[in-house]
Amino acid sequence: MPGQILINYGEVYSKVAELRNRINIELRELDTKYRQVQSSLRRMDGKTNTVFSEAMEDNQRKARLASETLQELLAFIEISAREVERNEQMHQRIFEFSRLR
């Protein structure tokens, strides 16, 4: 039917779970890389170490904030899809009940 939007809810939920998992993997890998760089920084002189360490910690906080924001967006997508799915099912039941009358 023209103008109709068909949503595969199973695919939506699957993709949301996949993206959440990928974010968590990327964040763990990023944390590992940060620790490796910070370990290397310990061998530098005090002033250089301090400047780079502060920059690294700032970037790490930004990465975590971005990850949290993406997780919230994924949660919103999932919750919205579940709500639309429930509404569609309710409308379908009402329509089927009306046809039986």
15-31 pLDDT per residue, tens:
999 999 999 999 999 99
CA pair distance 72, 17, nearest whole angstrom: 13
For residue 76, with 0-12 CB atoms within 10 Å meaning exposed, 13-18 middle and 19 or more buried, which class applies? Answer: exposed
Q: At what angle do helices 9-41 and 46-100 cross, to 10 degrees?
A: 170
Task: Convert the pLDDT of each residue in 47-73 to its tens digit.
Answer: 878 888 888 889 999 999 999 999 999
Sign of the four-CA dihedral 40, 50, 35, 21? negative
| Domains in the chain: ranges and CATH | 9-100 (1.10.287)
